[in-house]
Amino acid sequence: TVKVAIYLELPKIDESGKEKERVQIYEGVIISKHSNENPVNATITVRKMFQGGGIEKVFLTHSPWIKDFTVLSSAKVRRGKLYYLRERMGKSARLKRSFS
């Protein structure tokens, strides 16, 4: 199951050359999960730290372009959405790991 505060690797098929498909790995923390009326349209927002700033991408959970995801670690949080991580930089943007 996909939950908020999971640090994951998300391989995505990129078809830019049209001749070859290559897999790009996007690695980051899930900061929000949106489920619409139709669960097929559910999305997750993944935040990744890059060169001192953050990059966020929205992925459809049932997209054919996403192979599968690997959970690297999970964290203990008390919020449903982690939008407060947008203002945090460096060590203050870290989350407390859970080992369960």
**DSSP of 6-24, one letter per residue?**
EEEEEEEEE-SSSS--EEE
d(CA 33, CA 37): 13
Specify the pairing of strand 6-14 against strand 97-98: unpaired
Phi, then psi, of 93 in degrees rounded to 5: -90, 0
d(CA 67, CA 11): 6
pLDDT tens, the chain, 100 aa long: 677 888 888 888 777 666 777 888 888 888 999 887 888 888 989 988 888 778 899 988 888 888 788 888 888 888 889 898 888 877 777 777 777 6
Looking at residue 58, what is its pLDDT?
92
Instruction: Work out the number of other CB atoms within 10 angstroms of the CB of residue 98.
Output: 11
d(CA 86, CA 54): 7
Helices (H), 1-100: none
pTM assigned to the model: 0.81
